[in-house]
Amino acid sequence: MDFSPASPVLGGAFALCVFLGAALAASGFCTMGAISDLVLTGDGRRLHAWRWAMVTAAVGVMLLTWLTDFAASAARIPYADASLDWGRSVVGGLLFGAGMVAGGGCVSRNVVRLGLGDLNSAVTLAATALSAWWLVWRGGYGAVIGPLLDGMTVNVAMLGSTDQRLPSVLAGFGMPRTPAETAVILALILWLVVRGRASQGIRLSRALYVAGIGMGVVVTALWWLISGPTGQRWIQEAEFALTSPPGTGVQALTFIRPLADSINYLRSPSISNITFGMSTLIGTLTGAMAYALYRGRLQVLKLRPGLFVRNVAAGILLGTGGVTAMGCSIGQGITGISTLALGSMIAVLSMIAGCAFAVALTYQWSLHSDGGRWRKAARNALTDILIALKSV
């Protein structure tokens, strides 16, 4: 098979994510950190950067839809499917949110930390990769988790909608606008939210602006790269190959499936087994490491045996939650949100809820040592979250 179309596609994905990894390392952006900042201190700057990423990606996808042949319905993840697997989004999101707290950050943050020299993140990522690999490649999800959640599915066709993207759902309710016009309105609303927060005194550093907008631009560019002529030629050649390489298909940025694919690659190393997702993963790691070397911030942090069990548990939660929710805080939180899919919105809200409660509970647990510790900690954690919501 001629893999020539793969070179610009995989190489382009790698290059884009080298920039992304450097931007994330420079800014210190972390979705868990963003939620933790808001819950514990009321600081919404990193959460605001996440908003910028969502808005930028959503606007970028709308432009791609109008100017090119891009269609969200062609994506490997069913962002534009008529079946809304809300159970997967909720359960997976809650597990992933708790895993972020246990692991000190989401998957992308652990990738960046590894690039900066933290070997403890390697343990978390290894556990994430192994659990995701078992669920995806060894049928673990279908055997264990799928039967519990398969019945929690809603077909949005009953609402008169063609798919689960928000513009289509609103059009199904009789909104006298085309999905494209609705998308413009939604984008303007999101923009007003961003500007509204800025007018309330939230000012981002230049690094956070670059990271937030940069994530949205990278997601848009990856969508364009894989759905454009070169990407489509690569996909078509793979479909007609005697042995189709894994990981082909229309996709953008996510970190759970690439980690699972990495385990599969290690079991059978071959150039043809390098996937699009693995290119983004390696690019992000390379970008973070390059930034650390350039700035003289590469500092090897040795493994801490006392954190080993916690890191493994965090990895299992991240891998299980990410596979169940069909994406991580980037894969659903930016890539999925860029398609305005309801499933992605539910998954992100569940991740935020799971992370916020775990953060608040951990903090409150440290403050109580008397009887009724769990009850007091849980009650106060919910109070902390309610207070934080007022500043969102």
Question: What interhelical angle do 45-67 and 179-199 show, nearest 10?
Answer: 160
258-292 pLDDT, tens digit each = 999 999 899 888 777 889 999 999 999 999 999 99
Lowest mean pLDDT among 26-30, 98-102, 182-186, 305-309: 182-186
**Minimum mean pLDDT range among 40-49, 242-251, 376-385:** 376-385
Q: Are 13 and 366 in contact (CB under 8 A)?
A: no
Measured N-to-C along each axis, helices 45-67 and 31-41 cross at an angle, to the nearest 10 degrees, of: 140
pLDDT value of position 374 = 56
Identify the pLDDT of residue 382. Answer: 64
How would residue 205 be classed by pLDDT, with cut points 50, 70 and 90? confident
317 pLDDT exceeds 90? yes
Distance (Å, rounded) from C-alpha 179 to C-alpha 151?
A: 29
Computed on alpha carbons and rounded to an integer, the radius of gyration of the chain in Å comes to 20
Q: Which residue has the tokens 């019945």?
A: 151
Beta bridge partners of 83: 155
- The amino acid present at 6, given as its one-letter code, is A
pLDDT above 80 (res 1):
no
pLDDT band at 179 (very low <50, low <70, confident <90, very high): low
Average pLDDT of the chain is: 85
CA 135 to chain centre: 18
Residue 66, pLDDT > 60, answer yes
- Looking at residue 207, its pLDDT comes to 87
What pLDDT shows up at residue 3?
46
Which range, 14-18, 171-175, 194-198, is most confident? 14-18
How many CB atoms are located within 10 Å of the residue 303 CB? 13
Q: What percent of the chain has pLDDT over 70?
A: 83
3-state secondary structure (DSSP) of residue 151: coil
Alpha helices in the chain (DSSP H): 6-27, 31-41, 45-67, 86-102, 107-115, 120-137, 140, 146-149, 166-172, 179-199, 206-227, 229-240, 256-267, 276-295, 305-325, 337-338, 342-367, 373-389
Joined tokens for residue 341? 């899919």
pLDDT at 14: 96
Which of 303, 318, 391, 257 shows the shortest CA–CA distance to 102? 318
Mean pLDDT of the 379-383 span: 63
Residue whose C-alpha is closest to residue 343's, from 328, 331, 322, 325: 325
pLDDT of 288 reads 97
Among 72-86, 108-122, 141-155, 367-381, which is the least confidently predicted range?
A: 367-381
What is d(CA 273, CA 304) in angstroms, rounded to the nearest whole number?
Answer: 33
How far is the CA of 228 from the CAs of 218, 235, 258, 306, in angstroms?
A: 15, 11, 21, 48
- CB proximity list for 301: less than 8 A, separation 6 or greater: 117, 118, 119, 120
pLDDT of residue 199 exceeding 50, the answer is no
* Dihedrals phi, psi of 200, to nearest 5 degrees: -90, 10
Give the separation between CA 332 and CA 256, rounded to whole angstroms: 11
Most confident of 171-180, 252-261, 357-366: 252-261
237 vs 338: which has the higher pLDDT = 338
Asked if residue 311 has pLDDT above 50, the reply is yes
